[in-house]
Structure 1
Amino acid sequence: MITHFQYKPMFKQANLPGWRISFYFRGAHYDGVYHKNGQIEWGSQKPPKEAETDLQSQIHELMLFHVYE
């Protein structure tokens, strides 16, 4: 389960796509860049392979809810 999910635009001009994201998952901190097409570039730490697909799906749902309302 994702906790403390945060996002912010990468650029000051808000209509340009791309967001910096950060969150906690299983007690570890993750960050990255969420692109307009739904692709995620992981930051300093990549999540475990077995959880990556599920995490991408959860992040996509959160972004749809918060950004694309």
Structure 2
Amino acid sequence: MIQHFQYKNMYENKQLPGWTFSFYFSGMKYEGNYHKNGNIEWTGNIPPANKEEDLKKQLHELMLYHVYE
């Protein structure tokens, strides 16, 4: 389960899409960029291969809720 999820606009002009995010999962901090097309780019630790797809799904849901509500 994702904990302490945070996001912010990547650009000062908030009309431009793109966000940075961070969260904790299993005691490890993960960071990345969420692009307007839904692409996720990890900028820090990369999740284990067997958990990455599940984390991406959770991130998409969180971003849809917070950004595109």
Please indicate the TM-score interval, normalised by the length of the shorter structure: over 0.9
Equivalent position of 1:60 in the other structure? 60
Identical columns (%): 61
Question: Structure 2: which 5+ runs fail to align?
Answer: none
Query: Match of 1:36, as an amino acid?
Result: K
Residue by residue over 1:34-54, the C-alpha shift from the partner in whole angstroms, topping out at 9 and shown as x without a partner, is: 001111100121000000000
> Which 4+ residue blocks in structure 1 deviate beyond 3 angstroms?
none
Task: Give the corresponding residue for 1:17.
Answer: 17
Alignment coverage as a number of residue pairs: 69
Per-residue CA deviation, residues 6-55 of structure 1 (Å, 9 max, x unaligned), is 00000011010110000000110000000011111001210000000000
Give the whole-Å Cα distance in 2 for the aligned partners of 1:41 and 1:16. Answer: 17
Distance in 1, Cα, partners of 2:32 & 2:5: 12
The residue number in structure 2 matching 1:7 is: 7
